[in-house]
Amino acid sequence: MMTNPILELKDVSTVVNQGTSREVIILNHVNLQINEGDFITIVGTNGAGKSTLFNVISGMLPVSSGQVLHLGKDITKLSEEAHPEFLSRVFQDPKMGTAPRMTVAENLLLAVNRGQRRFLKPRHLKTHLNEFRELAATMNNGLEERLNTATGALSGGQRQALSFLMAVIKRPDVILLDEHTAALDPHTSASLMAATDQHIVDDKLTALMITHQLEDAIKYGNRLLVLNQGQIEADFRGDEKQNLTTEKLYEYLEH
């Protein structure tokens, strides 16, 4: 049994323009333990610190004080380039995270070979096609029929589904979903959200998801965090999360 959380933030603060009249505290002494198998949804008003939290976890933004730990190891000063060894991130923009001129299959092969010193060769690609077809079919949007299509020609929903598959294909320790359905129409968003949840549950993945959709925040995951002014105001789980309504959550955000 794992003795350490997969990821932990200990008293983490992030300050910009520190020591000047324009100093702003973005994260304010945040403490958070992320355990194996957690699917944590995150809500908060604009400027609450949601994106900053993800930027700190992914190494894009340095912390001003405190520690970030991965499996008990201090990674506070670890470079952003080293984080993909254990962490993946899916952004809001479907264009991010994929190579537009490469086919769907070629993009998936890039994700499989991430971190390895290997070259893209047709014979390598062919050996993966059946596997990629089965994987793409799990997204329930026809992506499996477009393996040889250039990614730039996909619909937004298919391209975002591809980004998600590229993020999870090597089963990283932590997956960050940064409003990954926000740029899609309601039907496509709901479909991608259902497929996302299926992958996380079936493969026992550990994920954090920022969303402005309160219904999704309540429906999915085992924990729900409310961020406000750089602090975690609430960490709903268990029956407390099950009994939440959008009305109650909206009132909580208004306070």
CA geometry: angle at 105 spanning 135 and 190, to 5°? 50
Q: In this structure, what token pair is assigned to residue 89?
A: 């991130």
Please say if the pLDDT value at position 122 is more than 80. Answer: no
pTM of the model: 0.93
pLDDT tens-digit readout, 5-64: 999 999 999 998 888 888 889 999 999 999 999 999 999 998 899 999 999 999 999 999
pLDDT above 60 (res 120) = no
**pLDDT value of residue 17:** 84
Q: How far apart are CA 129 and CA 133, in angstroms?
A: 6
Residue 1, pLDDT score:
47
User: What band does 116 get if pLDDT is binned at 50, 70 and 90?
Assistant: low
Percent of the chain whose pLDDT exceeds 90: 83
Q: pLDDT value at position 119?
A: 54
- Looking at the chain, list the stretches that DSSP marks H as alpha helix, in order from N- to C-terminal side: 50-57, 104-112, 122-137, 156-168, 186-202, 214-219, 238-242, 246-254
Q: Kindly indicate the confidence band of residue 187, based on its pLDDT and cuts at 50, 70 and 90.
A: very high
Tens digit of pLDDT for each residue in 190-218?
999 999 999 999 999 999 999 999 999 99
Measuring CA to CA, how many Å separate 13 from each of 86, 160, 182, 232?
Answer: 23, 32, 27, 12
Question: Which domains are delineated in the chain?
Answer: 1-86+172-255 (3.40.50.300), 96-171 (no CATH)
Residue 117 pLDDT exceeds 60: no
**In which element (H, E) is residue 226 found?**
strand 223-228
- Dihedral sign of CA atoms 150, 152, 157, 159 in order: positive
